[in-house]
Amino acid sequence: MRAARGSFQIGSFRGIPVRVHFSLLLVLPLLAFLFGGAFQRAAEVAEVPPERLSGSPALWGLVVALGLFASVFIHELAHTVYALRRGGRVRSITLMMVGGVSELTEAPPRPRDEALMAAVGPLTSILLAVLLGGATWLLQEVRSFNLQFAFFYMASLNLFLGVFNLLPAFPMDGGRIVRASLAGRLGMVRATQVASWLGRGFAVLFGVWAVLSLNPFLVVIAFFIFMGAQGEAQQVRMKMTLERVPVADLMTPRRVGVDAGASLEQALWDLRRARLLLLPVTEDERPVGQVSLETVRAVPDSERMTRTVREVMVPAVVVRLDEDGWTALRRMAEEERPQLVVVEADGVLAGTLDVNDVQRGMALYQAREERSGQQDRRWRQERPA
């Protein structure tokens, strides 16, 4: 749900941020080196005389590496467009060292739509490979060696990108198709567990292959698939649990916030007394904003007695008592806020909710479920036949 840490925005699509992860900047020179090293062999396969190509192998390696990530972006864009058309909500698109990820805050509602959303990315890459391959064939007649080589190389990479992503290695696209096909019979949690086991199995195979072939890049891919499969399974379990738990059972009760008209000196005292970095700002018992310790400390000491909380507060992100925990956590991620303000039906402050509250509440809820399950099993065992 959260945007990948260590990423920066380079643009947007329909208001959706497009980000580049710093890991991409690290792997780009490596890919350029690898593609440049394969320059001679690639030219022979493309039936292009290497001496007729402009530029050095290193420059061609860099161009092809950039072209690969442009292809990954198109691949992720296909996922995004389909998700939006089917009622999903996409928070951002991030290009990383092992590909890309479209971060969904809300997936399409039906498993069939999730399967099609997963399939549309690889199919787009394969279609792009066919189009580039056709352009390569046409360029053979005009003897445009530079374009012919570039199109052939990109067609080959897009074909690999499409076929590789169709492998049933969750959380890759093929694994998501498997998960969606099993969800109707097994339920989402069980289907995710099966797909996660399959993904981790493929990750182990990739790791063994990487060691035998001395391929460090394949080791990285194996690691990301293994961790991604495990993380996706944990997130689905969290989602299914939190959808059954109301915010009222997770929050920290808090009937009093920092008064909007109070001085910043008073706000500093309230924050220190509560031992919190963020507190709700209230007016007539209703939240109107939030104030952070960092913001208050940024104001010079000499001005804190004369300036009010209203001047520095930020708008509050509100969640109701009767909303479920997953809705609250998703809102926290969408708004990029570490804390939500919880209100009653009439808008009066009821408490606050942060990630620590959610984790603590989940642990208590799961412990109660385990105790209940153990008691049920014990009762069935002790009951006379």
Catalytic residue among 76, 103, 114, 232: 76
Whether the per-residue pLDDT at 312 is higher than 80: the answer is yes
Q: Which domains are assigned to the chain?
A: 7-242 (no CATH), 247-362 (3.10.580.10)
- Work out the percent of the chain whose per-residue pLDDT is above 90: 31
Cα torsion at 193, 107, 16, 123 (round to 10°)? 80
pLDDT tens digits for 286-302? Answer: 999 999 999 999 999 98
Residue 95, pLDDT score: 84
Confirm if 256 and 234 have CB atoms less than 8 A apart. Answer: no
DSSP secondary structure code for residue 338 in this structure:
S
pLDDT of residue 370: 67
pLDDT value, residue 373: 55
Q: Please determine, for residue 261, whether its predicted confidence score (pLDDT) is greater than 80.
A: yes
pLDDT tens, 12-24?
Answer: 888 888 888 887 8
Residue 308 belongs to what H/E stretch? Answer: none
Gap between the Cα atoms of 56 and 50, Å rounded: 10
Average pLDDT over residues 40-60: 81
Active site includes 76? yes
- Write the DSSP string, 225-266: HHHHHHHHHHHHHHHHHHTTSBGGGTSEE-S--EETTSBHHH
Average the pLDDT over each of 137-146, 246-255, 284-293, 333-342 and give the range with the smallest value.
137-146
**Environment class of residue 153 by beta-carbon count within 10 Å: exposed (0-12), middle (13-18) or buried (19+)?**
buried
Residue 21 marked as a ligand binder: no
Cα end-to-end span (Å), the chain: 49
* 346 annotated binding-site participant: no
- Cis, bond preceding 29 (omega within 30 deg of 0): no
- Residue 69's pLDDT band, with cuts at 50, 70 and 90, is confident
Residue with tokens 């220190």: 272
Distances (CA, A) of 90 to 17, 55, 62, 83, 373: 9, 40, 30, 7, 37
> Pick from 184, 185, 187, 218: which is nearest to 203 by CA?
218
* 173 is an annotated ligand-binding site residue: yes
For the chain, percent of residues with pLDDT exceeding 70: 91
CA distances from 64 to 37, 134, 177 (A): 12, 18, 29
